[in-house]
Structure 1
Amino acid sequence: MRSKDLSFIIIFIISGKLSAEEKTCGLPSVENGRIAQYYYSFKKYYFPMRINKTLSFACLAGYTTETGKQEERITCTQEGWSPEPQCFKKCTKPELRNGYISDVKLMYKIQENMRYGCNSGYKTTGGKDEEVVQCLADGWSPQPTCREEHETCLVPELYHGNYSTTQKTFRVKDKVQYECAPGYYTAGGKKTEETECHTYGWALTPKCTKLKCSSLRLIQNGYFHPIKQTYEEGDVVQFFCHENYYLSGSDLIQCYNFGWYPESPVCEGRRNRCPPPPLPLNSKIQTHSTTYRHGETVHVECELNFEIQGSEEIRCENGKWTEPPKCIEEKKTACGNPPFIENGAANLNSTIYYNGDKVAYECKSGYHLRGSTEITCKRGKWTRPPECIENIENCKPPPNVINGAVVDGLLASYTTGSSVEYRCNEYYLLSGAKVSHCEQGEWSSPPICLEPCTINVDRMYRNNIEMKWKYEGKVLHGDLIDFVCKQGYDLSPSNSLSELSVQCNRGEVRYPLCIRKESKGTCGAPPLIKNGVIISSTLGIYENGSSVEYRCFDHHFLEGSRESYCLEGVWTTPPSCLEPCTLSFVEMENNNVFLKWDFDNRPYIFHGEYIEFLCKRDTYIAEFSMIGSELRVQCDRGQLRYPRCIHKG
């Protein structure tokens, strides 16, 4: 009798232990779906649910479960809810112009296919008579369309991007290239793209859109915010865990141009998490985490002069780390004398060198180092030494930087290996390396000083806008300027509110235009300009507040706003394209002058640019002139006023 009682007690204790360790399921989150309201009202009573318990969830109108049903049951398992409660968008039968769909169905489930065909003279998006498309979570892929066959293609209007040419019409098999503005991507997901004209239209219709990241899958025992069908680049999502569960990974992830980063975290019970990894004596670990989840590994390295004994990786398994390696002191192996190099020598600081010791090299006068300046002793052998190369050619003074200068003044000549540092004028932003190096008579590329923007009050007044914030001084290149419409004015319906935030681009500001809310006037064709073209597509009639953009021919200088707006039936003043200047060596010879700088010997000089001259030998600048200014002349609308030097009498 006693033995039976004892058996009963043992069985009861064992079963009790198993029950205590049994995993449970929390309240599930169903995107685009719901569970019964009483589960939410009495959450503490129903949850956490025990293994093998079930509940039902339903999808909202227009969505179905993965199997295509409106409602489905899920079961609590050791791994969580199964199947994972999800609702997917259903695809409706599209209204297809110039084509036909043979199916009689009106709704399609996720991953279900549909075949469609096009009438004579029309082709599918893939250039065929018939094509199969698939229903995905965000709709049909690709969208069923029948395009008319043509002998030419017309480039569509491109928002947030520019074409490489002003040509508007292309023949079949012709190609056009276009580039998207920062933060926007082509139809193929690139910064620049080339697309070909086919009989049914463009292979990929040119467009610039913000990159989108895929929708996020629900996480077991947790939830996230905000929940969207699609996310744009820059969106941030935060994750949370239900009671008694803990986040493993970052609680914040962001949508980048390459996708989500970092990866989504998971919600785990405490027993699946490991503490910080063990650190063996004389070792180092590259780690940035305080906790690790089951299956994660950590790489162990030994300090200098120690070698590893055992596995280089340790793994987190069921809350515990696998056995770490040991770091055993290496036998000291000496390197021989540092290798000899021609026209240089090693700076010896010892008579014997062991693993990890370093020696630096120097070249004698007239030579410079090529390669690393020092070598390292590694397990009895030296790393490769540098070479000493003869300094052959000096450099002339470094190139000028517009709106910037060399920090420490200029010399007449610079030896190979010399360097100069540039700085930009106040409010100008330095782009590129601020240090330029002299190598064998040539300077490395100098930086560029990017112009700041000055807010034009008159332009703001004409465009019916005001500053949202007050700015002190100038606005640096790349900074955003926020505008608001004046009272009684609004943006054109075709423009988004984001266009009120404008970026300073090398001294230029594209001022947004606000129009009277009640205004209805329209404009005809925009005015043409000399030496330039309209790069946006042209229409017959333009709504009040719409705009066109101009571009000058190569080497011509654009003066004024590059955009013209339709205001109350009248176009605002378009820009002017000012002609460049061309150097005349005949005029230079007649005036006894020659170019001061070789880099000014080029086919075209832009309007507004300065050219510097020098008088020929035995000549001097004419009387009654300011020597400094007369020898430095400015290109003015295609005209250069050459200075005149006369012979000494």
Structure 2
Amino acid sequence: MNYVCYDGYGYKNGEATCTRDGWDPNPLCAVKMCAAPIIPYAEILGDQRPKYNIDSRIRYKCHRGFEPEQPVEITCNSRTEWTDIQPCTAKPKLCPDPSVENGMIHTLPSNEEEIFYTCNTGYKTFSGNWWDSVTCSRGSWSEKPRCIREEECGAFPSVHHGKLKQTKQIFNDGDATVLECDPGFKPTKRFIKCVSGTWETPVCEVDVHCDIPPKVENALITSKPKEFYGDGSSLTYVCRSSFLMKGKSTVFCRSGTWEEAPTCKEPTCSLNTAVEDFPDIKGPVKPGHKLTFSCRQGLKLKGQREITCQSNGEWSSPFPKCEEVMCVANLTVNMRSFGHTGPEVSVRPGDIITLSCVGSGVTLEGQSKITCFSNGEWNVPFPKCLGEPTCSLNTAVEDFPDIKGPVKPGHKLTFSCRQGLKLKGQREITCQSNGEWSSPFPKCEEVMCVANLTVNMRSFGHSGPEVSVRPGDIITLSCVGSGVTLEGKSKITCLSNGEWNVPFPKCLGGKCGPPPHVNSADTIEMTKQEYNSGERVEYRCFNKYTLVQRHPYSKYLTCELGEWSGNIKCLKPCSVSVEVMDERGIELRWRGREKIFSPHGDRIEFSCKRGKSSIGLIQTCNDGVMDLPLCE
């Protein structure tokens, strides 16, 4: 007879036979069970049985030194198999087995990550104790177990506010090392000795220093706080966003005292109440506020009608001015105004100017006499100079090109010199649309070789920074200054073409001395006696002088290979005394009899004294020079 067992029960085969003793097999179906698991290097947690029912769960734990370290749970499934078994594997050694020469090592079975060691007679541990320990971390020992001789010194003693300089690992009796102290401290003894296996006691005592720097409201310092700041150390302040700093951002500790700290203030715009018809407002003004200006009848606003206070505390445009209404004639290069000089002519309402054109073939289109109206406009359209001007020829130049004049705009002349002479100036010049040449006519001069000596270079038998010699002459060059060497030939010969026979030598290396004196300017920081190559020094002009910052000028000089490089220029202000103005019958338009001291670029408006008249009453300061009008 065939039969089937219920789920969870099993049988040896699917047939049963009826015998005189009953059915065979007997019982026909038996409960399925899992035999107790055998897991190498592990033990079952809790009571262990020889067999387990289906879906039974038990836990086991690997022996010490094997992984995984946490207990593992396994389940007996319907096929009488244990699931989720993880084999126990030996954990890798964290650190290699240590050894020590002239000593012994001991490890506790309960903690293999720390070893203890001691040294043989006549030896001691590197730390100086008679025994010591090291620990294993991240695959390596905290230090190598070492035994040194009793008379030797090993590990440095701790130093409060300092450290000993590590020049080698083991020091013999009598050896010394340098004691280095933190900023604000100094050593009582510069050298600390090893004496019979023991270090002398190192001590760092308080030196001249600065304490915590002064607090600045709405600011912070861009470095971590220190307990002490050594003499000469520095730190930098930064203001809160949108606040403006007044003063130097970097301050230094000098002789135990901090330099004056900067201040951080909320930006405001100052008011120039000297402006005529100033808006009715009291200052200071916060960013975002706008001012609108107007002028009285008979005056004209020069500048922006509306200006805004910006987040940097500056106005969006300079304060405008109310100026007398004037007519301005901007003359072209080939136009002239009778009785006036310069390309711009300014006159008052009612004045008449007479215009004419210059240059062969150039004629005036329009009225030659024009009148200034009360609104600052001319009574007729401004005339023009029409026609093509020509350039005149300077036939006095030697080896002049074979051409007859006059020459029309766009024509080019090319020059050359006879053998033995050298051209000084542009080889090619062009006739321009205004009837003038693009460059002056060149000259033919004797061929010379010119040596431009740097500040640390000398030429034997010559003085000054420039040496000029004739073809065939030889000059001998050398360098001066500590650490400065000559790269190239020291003796060079002038060739017939005005060039040197070899590349001109250079003076390399060395340091720069104090930065040079600059007219009308000074450095913003204290100078040093020596500067390394690459260091630079910042200058600022004296009060009322204007610093030029367009190429090739800047506010810096840089030390390069032992010499200072760079160009600094300060434009002079203009000064006019009351006495000089009285002599010319003029006074300031808005301030009367008052001395002028104005920076470069300022436009000054004058007026004639009662009963006198003149033209060109608005003048500009140009590097200390101002053309004063004459009222008669």
Alignment TM-score > 0.5, same fold: no
> Which is greater in Rg?
2
* Greater RCO (Cα-Cα under 8 Å, separation 6 or more): 1
Normalized per residue, the structure richer in helix is: 1
TM-score by length of 1: 0.26
TM-score by length of 2: 0.27
